[in-house]
Amino acid sequence: MGRLDGKVAIITGAARGIGKATARLFAREGARVVVTDIDVQTGESTAEEIRTQGGDAVFIPVDVTDPASVERMVQEAVNTYGRVDILVNNAGVLKDRTLMKMSHDEFDFVINVNLKGVFNCTKAVVPYMVEQGSGVILNASSVVALYGNFGQTNYVASKAGVIGMTKVWARELGPKGIRVNAVAPGFIRTEMTAGLPEKVIQAVIERTPLRMWGEPEDIAYAYLYLASDEARFVNGAVLSVDGGVVV
């Protein structure tokens, strides 16, 4: 008996990293998973891997910055599985630079994916959840949204905005049976962070009370809890999964 038996979950940015770990875990817990990403080849292989391991998954490409692309993806997901119970807004990008060096295009790119993308996906999914009278929306924020980070004006602004939208939607959609929560990961070992210099990695470890980096599965399990009926009274929360780095 899985914790998500019978549920249909759309996970954006699911080709790799935290999104992939979440898709694999949700499938193991009984969900039918829509793996969605702009990276078609890697996304297809993630869905195939889930199916090989006995899970139920399809890949549907999407550009979260394009409302029409998002609406097509959601419609195809509903056509395939008949409903949407869970949306994990995981897709995200980085374009780090200090304020004085950051271009307008770099700012817009990160805001469009990390903030507008969350808006686009949620807006497309919510009518189906309202109609069925239930649903869970989970948004990827970040620990840096809570305390800022050098060289990340665009990223921090996007992730802080996600927290704001999460709280608004929790108020608006709660009466319709839809829970909305956010997860704020700390420093997680993914492809996105793999290129960091060793001295930066060591500095992060020293700042983290648990003296370690997180793994994608650490975030996936947080999403699993929030997506499950065990969290039925959790709404509008921001769950920090960061090894205590903001303590």
Output the pLDDT for position 247. 63
Which helix (H) or strand (E) element contains residue 173?
Answer: helix 153-173
Return per-residue pLDDT of the chain as tens, 247 residues.
Answer: 899 999 999 999 999 999 999 999 999 999 999 999 999 999 999 999 999 999 999 999 999 999 999 999 999 999 999 999 999 999 999 999 999 999 999 999 999 999 999 999 999 999 999 999 999 999 999 999 999 988 999 999 999 999 999 999 999 999 999 999 999 999 898 877 777 778 878 888 898 999 998 999 999 999 999 999 999 999 999 999 999 987 6
| Backbone φ and ψ of 90, nearest 5° | -100, -20
Helices assigned H by DSSP within 32-66: 40-52
List pLDDT tens digits, range 187-217.
Answer: 898 877 777 778 878 888 898 999 998 999 9
Q: Which of 81, 128, 155, 223 is catalytic?
A: 155
Domain extents for the chain? 8-234
List pLDDT tens digits, range 161-173.
Answer: 999 999 999 999 9
Output the pLDDT for position 89. 98
Indicate if 225 belongs to the active site: no
Cα–Cα distance, 25 to 8 (Å, whole number):
13
Homologous superfamily in CATH for domain 8-234: NAD(P)-binding Rossmann-like Domain (3.40.50.720)
Cα–Cα distance, 147 to 56 (Å, whole number):
39
Q: Could you tell me if residue 244 is left (phi over 0), alpha (psi between -120 and 50 degrees) or otherwise beta?
A: left
Output the pLDDT for position 190. 82
Cα–Cα distance, 21 to 28 (Å, whole number):
11
Output the pLDDT for position 199. 83
Of 118, 114, 89, 109, which is closest to residue 18 (Cα–Cα)? 89
pTM given for the model: 0.96
Of 198, 66, 215, 219, which is closest to residue 142 (Cα–Cα)? 219
